Amino acid sequence: MARRHARVGYGLPTLLAVGLHGLVLLVSVISLPASDHEPKPSSIVQATLVSTETVTDQAQRAEAAKQRALARQAEEQRQAEEQARQEAEAAAAQEAQRQTEEAEQAEQEAQRQAEEAARQAEAEAERRAADAEEQAQRLEQQRQAEEEAARQRAKEAEEQARREREAEAQRQREKEAEEQARREREAAEQRQREKEAEEQARREREAEAQRQREKEAEEQARREREAEAQRQREKEAEEQARREREAEAQRQREKEAEEQARREREAEAQRQREKEAEAQRQREKEAEEQRRAREQAEAEMQRLIEGANEPATNAQQGQQAANDFTALVRQAIEQAWRIPPNVASGARVEISVRLGPSGELFVAEVATSSGDGAFDRSAVQAVEAAAPFAELRQLPAHLQREYRRISFVFSPEGVR
């Protein structure tokens, strides 16, 4: 029997324990930096949504598409512009004409009103004058009657005087009576004259008042005309402003429609290009495919030229869906994004993303580096973690192709 009665010492266990701890330390130093940022930033994501605008590489594609369909597009644009201009001009001309007509009409009306006022005033004056004349005639008749009476009385007095003369002392009395009658007549005449003068004065006063009133009416009419003209001018100015605004809005709308149409065309061009590439891969179907694509493109173009409005609204809806899609994608990326600590606040990295047809991630690569490797990597990892973007399938077909290439700008404040 082996009689090794040496005790189990502490040397070897100590060595082993120290070795174990050293190994653990070594492992933590070597591999933990790579792995420790997985458990650590499990906390809240700091990314915030700064704006809802999306940055895609639409501009690049737009340029490419533009170069391809430049002539076509320019022509169309020119046509549309011309049409818009003509329309605007016609509208403006019509508006101006209408306005001048209106002004004229208003002027005529004012004139008519003034005339009427004048006529009225004249009629009034005439009536007043007739009244006065009538009154005067009446007075004259009265006077004549009175004269008649006086003459009769005088005759009677003469008769009496003759009778009295006949009765010896009749002449004197007759003379006296005659004298008296004359005096009376004179007095009557005097009264009559006075009355007449009074009447005359009254008439003159009335005529004066009448003139005054006429003048006033004239004045009033003039003022009214002026006010009317003023109002007219204001209305004109307003109308002018409104017309300008309308024209502006019209121009804006036309521009928008143009823009939409252009985008649509670009999308179309994009699709066609991809189709061509596909066709190139499939050599045997090439001719047919190309011809079909051309025909389709032509039909599309025809449709675009014929009715620019309808595809514009379609494109608008598509644009809306695309915005929703990019917002969703951006949100997903933000949630998946773990910003490494100690990133400079101005750091910006642009990540260009290519997606598969059903939203799976093909490539996410750094388009413009921020200079901070960790930051760039974190952005790429965020995109990788957020993939797949199944929302892509909900987009309209032509936009699906467009949005299979997106680029995002990451900055410490958020994804754009």
Q: Give the footprint of another protein on this chain (CB under 8 A).
A: 1-3, 5, 8-10, 12-14, 16-18, 20-21, 24-25, 28-29, 32-34, 36-37, 40-41, 43-44, 46, 339-342, 374
Strands 349-355 and 405-411: antiparallel
- Residue for token pair 């001719």: 287
Between 24 and 123, CB nearer to another protein: 24
- Least Å from the CB of residue 348 to another protein: 18
DSSP line for 178-224: HHHHHHHHHHHHHHHHHHHHHHHHHHHHHHHHHHHHHHHHHHHHHHH
Between 246 and 413, CB nearer to another protein: 413
- Least Å from the CB of residue 41 to another protein: 8
Strands 414-415 and 349-355: unpaired
Between 5 and 281, CB nearer to another protein: 5
Between 325 and 375, CB nearer to another protein: 375
- Least Å from the CB of residue 5 to another protein: 6
Count CB atoms within 10 A of the CB of residue 166: 10
Strands 414-415 and 405-411: antiparallel
Between CA 106 and CA 56 the distance in angstroms is 58
- Least Å from the CB of residue 414 to another protein: 14
- Least Å from the CB of residue 39 to another protein: 10
Between 106 and 347, CB nearer to another protein: 347
Between CA 249 and CA 253 the distance in angstroms is 6
- Least Å from the CB of residue 346 to another protein: 16
- Least Å from the CB of residue 16 to another protein: 5
Of 91, 101, 106, the residue nearest 242 (C-alpha): 91
Of 69, 55, 54, the residue nearest 270 (C-alpha): 69
Helix (H, G, I), strand (E, B) or coil at 4: coil
Widest Cα–Cα separation across the chain: 221
Between 339 and 392, CB nearer to another protein: 339
Between 76 and 334, CB nearer to another protein: 334
